[in-house]
Amino acid sequence: MNYLIGRFSVYFQSITILISCIALFSAPVSAQIEEIIVTAQKREQNVQDVSISITAFTGDTLQDLGVAQPRDLAQFTPGLTVNASSSYEGDSVFTIRGVGMNDVTSKQNPAVMIYLDEIALPSHVMLGFQMFDVDRVEVLKGPQGTLYGRNTTGGAIKVVPRKPTKEFDLQARFDYAEYDRTELELGVGGPLGDTLSARVAANINVSQHGWQTLETIPEVPFGPGVDPDNGEIDRKAYRGSILWEPTEQFDILISGDYSEDKSEVMAFKHAGNLFADGSPGFCSYATEGIRNEVECASFAQIRDRTGGTPLTPEREIIQDRNPDIRTVLGEFSTGNQVDAESWGISATVNIDFDRFTATSITGYREFDRYQPLDQGGSPAYIHEIRNWEDITSFTQEIRFASDDSWGPIDWIVGGFYSKDDNDFFSDTDFRDHASFSGFFESGSDQETEGISAFAQVDWRMHEMFKLSLGIRYTDEDREFSFSGKITGSGPVPLPLFTHPKLNTEEVGGRVALEFTPTDNLLLYASFNRGFKSGGFPASIAFSRNQLLPFKSEELLAYEAGFKSTLLDGNVRFNAAGYYYDWNDMQARAALDRIDPVSGQNVRVITLGTAGDVEIYGAEAEFTWQLTPELLVYTGVSLMDAEIQNGDYEDQTPAHAPDFTINGLASYTASQGIGGFRPFAQFDYSYTDSNQFILPNHPGAVQNSYTLLNARIGLRSDDGHWELAGWGRNLSDKEYFSEIFGPASGFLPGRLHYGPPRIFGVSISYSH
């Protein structure tokens, strides 16, 4: 804790000195930092007037930064980390201020919920969507237990698409990049009459080549449609919306979207856990995290079919001695192309009554995916998977909000209903496993139904003081069933498991006090109680212990901070400190369970309660419009997260780096040349070392790394045309996006890496 206070004090003092120097030696410039209007509290407000830690982006900023999916936000948001799942890198696991979940099965609700057009996306597998034609994004940090009640212990991310307008609007962009990658984005909208307007948008992202090369062995050929060039992208997304405004007191917005993904699945880099010479015990990677493919290996027994005859009398020694991290072992026996479809529709109705507004938001979404995976990090068939996922989600929110006629009081009350149905089926082929040869099938079904009521009152007690009180009651039921079977040899999956309805009743809420001594300074202190409902582990299971439900987790969050706008709007400096008391953290780990049949304690790898956690942290964001042409920004996050009890006492939760910093410098010339003005933007992000798993292991650590990006080009004087060249990961930094399986005697360790350096060009038009 003293370490964090010391580092944050140095940062704070440096910024204070910098601001003082600006005030003493610089006259305010005419340009001001762009004001961002957010709806974090279900009403339009300047982000500087909201007593919540928020990092907000406009759609234009997101395009300049190259943000294509929600996971890209982590490079530009203090306190936000994102890692690709071990199943498919399109899936994303979000963690804010150390609070998240290290389990990526589709049945688990994210601790950081993403809302697309105010509709909650209730599964990790739904969060890899394309972000296009976006008006803004709001990253809300800390538990949002009042107005966003669906298990948002970590925070909420609001993605707000562009809406139809009464004026014609056109946005078009074309990118070409390495690996023969093309991206076309188009959005067009305008009036269809006096009271009707519409907008349509599309994004098509395709690459003809991938940045990963597959290698195999002669005895094991590539699967159908697979070749050494791996990682091709094929994503298409479409959105349409129509807005009807027959009177000033009534409007209805209907939106629909559809997307498909037929991209290739990335493979793992092999990391052997066992000695290559067959000596007993674990080698250097499993004990120290040192990857050494001369000493370390995994083993396979090549067979003609599952449960069949070995093709060679000796076990195959699997080693990956290629130093190139982007050349990996794998064959994808069932193919490497995902087939995913997602669509949704929503209707938002606003009715203005005398002294209040009524809002109804109805949403329905479906997600279907077939997904082949080579999970073994090996050219042998030791962990070949096929997954089928089918998720439907219905939500209904009705709320009533005060207008300006209530004087010092603002209030909002409402109710929320949700129902999700999540079906999952998987088969796994261990044909060439060294110890057995089995084909496993498993399926599960989960239905979740919840209802909640919420209210928040903001009372301006004095022209300088405001008190906010919020409360939310939630009642949620989950039903879960599982079935499994095996063909061949190996451990026998649990044939059938059903559990009585799991009920969760919880109360969350918020208390905040604001002090505004001037129009440009907001100081606040708040207390939040958030929770995440209990649930069921959903992966393949071989005993009842692995499927028993886990209980709800609770997060008590204490935060104090300020938001300031200085030098006539040319400087914005926001900072916050927080303490989190996180009880009954939900995590995938080696956990003790009581066998209901034998009554004996059994240790299993499953999702459950992994202890209580304390988190201390501080964040700051500093933006300075240095001149009308030059803007600089930096954001910093300092954090200390530690498990306080249980088997993992004194260890660190997954994806909780102590220190991150990100920033950018953006320059646009004020004088044009031949009708065009040059511009340049450079951005960076630094992430301290952090753990990927519990228990913490030296082989599952991402060491600190920095990513550098740049964008340079010309913009027409009228603002319509832009031509740019860009580069991402300029230093070609090698970093992990996921680590899985160190110190396993059953499977090799496996590593996913992030994308390499990529250059591209872009041309865009707006009107």
pLDDT digits (tens, 9 = 90+) for 645-656: 988 999 999 999
- What are the Cα distances from residue 284, in Å, to 83, 323, 673? 25, 17, 60
Six-digit token string for 459:
């009372």
pLDDT above 70 for 281:
yes
Six-digit token string for 291:
């990857």
pLDDT of amino acid 269: 94
Q: How far apart are CA 239 and CA 197, in angstroms?
A: 15
pLDDT above 90 for 93:
no
CA-CA-CA-CA torsion sign (625, 631, 637, 638): negative
Q: How far apart are CA 537 and CA 539, in angstroms?
A: 6
What is the rounded average pLDDT of the residues 32-58?
Answer: 94
CB of 589 within 8 A of CB of 694?
yes
pLDDT of amino acid 169: 94
Q: H-type helices in 33-187, by residue range?
A: 59-65
CB of 162 within 8 A of CB of 73?
no
Q: To 10 degrees, the CA torsion angle through 91, 701, 55, 716?
A: -80
Structure confidence at residue 130 as a pLDDT band (50, 70, 90): very high
Start-to-end CA distance of the chain, whole Å, equals: 51
CB of 519 within 8 A of CB of 495?
no
Q: What is the pTM of this model?
A: 0.93
Type of residue numbered 750:
R
Structure confidence at residue 12 as a pLDDT band (50, 70, 90): very low
Q: How far apart are CA 530 and CA 144, in angstroms?
A: 7
What is the rounded average pLDDT of the residues 586-612?
Answer: 73
Tens-digit pLDDT profile for residues 678-697: 999 999 999 999 999 889 99
CB of 749 within 8 A of CB of 767?
no
Six-digit token string for 98:
């150390």
Tens-digit pLDDT profile for residues 372-403: 999 888 899 999 999 999 999 999 999 999 99
Tens-digit pLDDT profile for residues 477-526: 999 999 999 999 988 999 999 998 999 999 999 999 999 999 999 999 99
Q: How far apart are CA 587 and CA 584, in angstroms?
A: 9
What is the rounded average pLDDT of the residues 269-291?
Answer: 94
Q: How far apart are CA 137 and CA 160, in angstroms?
A: 6
Six-digit token string for 492:
């026998």
* Torsion angles phi and psi, residue 256, rounded to 5: -140, 150
Residues ≥6 apart with Cβ < 8 Å to 314: none
Cα angle: 610, vertex 613, 615; to 5 degrees: 150
Q: What is the DSSP letter of 436?
A: -
pLDDT of amino acid 159: 96
Residue 407's CB is within 10 A of a number of other CB atoms, namely 9
What is the rounded average pLDDT of the residues 131-158?
Answer: 93
Q: How far apart are CA 540 and CA 486, in angstroms?
A: 11
Residues ≥6 apart with Cβ < 8 Å to 149: 416, 452, 454, 472, 474, 508
Nearest Cα to Cα of residue 404 among 355, 464, 358, 468: 355
Q: How far apart are CA 688 and CA 1, in angstroms?
A: 17
Give me the residues paired with residue 491 across strands: none
Six-digit token string for 528:
């939040």
Name the CA radius of gyration of the chain, rounded: 26
Nearest Cα to Cα of residue 557 among 146, 150, 159, 157: 146
Q: How far apart are CA 2 and CA 512, in angstroms?
A: 26
pLDDT of amino acid 589: 80
Q: What share of the chain is helix, strand, coil (3-state, %, to 5)?
A: 10, 55, 35
Q: How far apart are CA 708 and CA 711, in angstroms?
A: 11
Give me the residues paired with residue 271 across strands: 749
CB of 174 within 8 A of CB of 762?
yes
CB of 363 within 8 A of CB of 274?
no
CA-CA-CA-CA torsion sign (288, 292, 295, 300): positive
Q: How far apart are CA 497 and CA 483, in angstroms?
A: 6
CB of 572 within 8 A of CB of 36?
no
Tens-digit pLDDT profile for residues 322-336: 999 999 999 999 999
pLDDT of amino acid 641: 97
Q: H-type helices in 67-204, by residue range?
A: none
Side-chain half-sphere exposure of 21, counting CA atoms within 13 A:
8
Six-digit token string for 432:
């060439």
- The mean pLDDT value of the chain amounts to 91
What is the rounded average pLDDT of the residues 6-10?
Answer: 50
CB of 191 within 8 A of CB of 162?
no
pLDDT above 60 for 8:
no
Asked if the bond preceding 695 is cis, omega within 30° of 0, the reply is yes
pLDDT of amino acid 11: 47
Tens-digit pLDDT profile for residues 701-752: 999 999 999 999 999 999 899 999 999 999 999 999 888 889 888 889 999 9
Q: What is the DSSP letter of 375?
A: T
pLDDT above 80 for 13:
no
Print burial letters for 172-197: b (CB count within 10 Å at least 16), e (below 16): ebebebebebebebbbbbeeeeeeeb
- What are the Cα distances from residue 448, in Å, to 392, 471, 480? 11, 22, 9
CB of 40 within 8 A of CB of 54?
yes
pLDDT of amino acid 601: 62
Q: How far apart are CA 108 and CA 344, in angstroms?
A: 20
CB of 200 within 8 A of CB of 181?
no
Type of residue numbered 391:
I
Tens-digit pLDDT profile for residues 428-453: 999 999 999 999 999 999 999 999 99
Q: What is the DSSP letter of 234?
A: E
Residue 628's CB is within 10 A of a number of other CB atoms, namely 13
pLDDT of amino acid 598: 57
Q: How far apart are CA 177 and CA 183, in angstroms?
A: 9
What is the rounded average pLDDT of the residues 226-234?
Answer: 95
pLDDT above 60 for 17:
no
Q: How far apart are CA 221 and CA 223, in angstroms?
A: 6
Six-digit token string for 313:
């009398």
Q: H-type helices in 26-84, by residue range?
A: 59-65
Q: What percent of the chain has pLDDT over 70?
A: 93
pLDDT above 90 for 166:
yes
pLDDT above 90 for 544:
no
DSSP per-residue string spanning 84-119: E-SS-TTSEEEEETTB--S---TTSPPSEEEEETTE
Give me the residues paired with residue 84 across strands: 92
Side-chain half-sphere exposure of 764, counting CA atoms within 13 A:
24
Give me the residues paired with residue 155 across strands: 112, 141
What is the rounded average pLDDT of the residues 627-634?
Answer: 96
Six-digit token string for 646:
């249980």
CA-CA-CA-CA torsion sign (272, 278, 284, 289): positive
pLDDT of amino acid 58: 94
Nearest Cα to Cα of residue 141 among 559, 572, 725, 695: 559
Structure confidence at residue 22 as a pLDDT band (50, 70, 90): very low
pLDDT above 80 for 20:
no
